[in-house]
Structure 1
């Protein structure tokens, strides 16, 4: 996934500060909230296990551990068939601003049901065991299926303005 970020940084006036990488920091909500809560403007990249697919979303607000929905006018989710194929990408903007994001201590970066990642039995120190994309509050679905899936890795970056 780093090569995708490197490609993006080359063209943008922003830099991407890595806050979390699942393969290094763990695949638990506890680690996600410890490293990502209260950080403005984050983007999440998820590598779907067994495919070349990369999905994710942008949160212009902050992540929190409270159990509630959050409004976000400029939030969006996306998918790429592979890190080398941008031709069939999907970009889906929020249509229900009141349910752009969902915060809870046993959830990871969640964009309503459209990109849902959490621990099903409610323990925030266990690995994620429920990951699914079901179109709800965003304009387009980002996966062809609503089935649960596993992830190879995921990363959360904070987007910062480049210093010139």
Structure 2
């Protein structure tokens, strides 16, 4: 798993060591000092994927050395700069003009979050027009939670709405699931799970509007809703290089019960199931319309669980 913020940090340190005239206190650097460093790293900077650098790393590592970037690199797309410099990111590349706040994630950035949010809203719109009254009613109930519940936050299709991707759990940060983890994450509406596939650039995940039970289960209920799976195959936030899988709309699978044991997020039976102890995942299509990954069993480096809410 390449963390581009770390790669940038190593590159800058390497560049400084190439010239004994450079002093570590950059506040005292002259124009010639900056040009010396710029010349040392200019051929390597294009390999840095700035869109994959977290907001914290951008503040702490990129901005202090902004002078070594070329004019083209300094004039990054305005939307990219907003994603890095402002926690509330305004975007207009979809039907709704909306703001997205993303807790500092080591797996996805604001561009991924915006694409995922677009899928969430599209899924809600599709579900509202779904022809089976029973499913339609249950979906309506899903987005009409009590106002006083801190866990139950509904989506409202207005142009002024803001969305927050609250990071509830990070496997690398928080370690093995604990009782506190289950209290925060189990059966939480509008749950988003993302994972970084080992030895790959792919980012895989899923969204469950009804929430997930992430502990040991002996009976698992399948209900048709607007859940979906996704795979950013190259790791880049681009729809062209992304697989999205939706739940099958077959009536015969609704409320189907399957016995199963698993510790971690699970979509369908094994359509996407991630074991948080072994850090292994499976992808065997059954309840979703296509496979989310071309390998049935694979390892993951990190897993993050979010709740997507309005604020």
TM-score by shorter chain over 0.5: yes
* Residue 278 (structure 2) aligns with: 128
Residues 33 and 103 of structure 1: CA distance in aligned 2, closer, same or farther (over 3 Å): farther
Distance in 2 between residues matched to 1:130 and 1:40, nearest whole Å = 25
Residues 141 and 150 of structure 1: CA distance in aligned 2, closer, same or farther (over 3 Å): same
Of 256, 265, 271, 1:114 maps to 271
Aligned: 1:76 with 2:224: no
Q: Secondary structure at the match of 1:35?
A: helix
* Residue 241 (structure 2) aligns with: 88
| 4+ long deviations beyond 6 Å | 99-105
* Residue 55 (structure 1) aligns with: 204
Stretch of structure 1 that moved more, 39-48 or 21-30: 21-30
How many residue pairs get aligned? The number is 154
Does the 8 Å CA contact 1:29/1:106 hold for their aligned counterparts? no
User: How large is the RMSD of aligned CA atoms in angstroms?
Assistant: 3.1
Residues 100 and 42 of structure 1: CA distance in aligned 2, closer, same or farther (over 3 Å): farther
Distance in 1 between residues matched to 2:228 and 2:275, nearest whole Å = 19
Residues 31 and 137 of structure 1: CA distance in aligned 2, closer, same or farther (over 3 Å): farther
Distance in 2 between residues matched to 1:74 and 1:101, nearest whole Å = 19
Does the 8 Å CA contact 1:39/1:158 hold for their aligned counterparts? yes
Of 15, 18, 24, 2:167 maps to 18
Aligned: 1:7 with 2:111: yes
| Offset, 1:128 | 2.7
* Residue 254 (structure 2) aligns with: 98
Q: Secondary structure at the match of 2:182?
A: helix
**Higher normalized strand content (fraction of residues):** 1
**Higher normalized helix content (fraction of residues):** 2
Q: Normalization by structure 1: what TM-score?
A: 0.77
Residues 107 and 79 of structure 1: CA distance in aligned 2, closer, same or farther (over 3 Å): same
| Offset, 1:76 | 0.6
Q: Normalization by structure 2: what TM-score?
A: 0.43
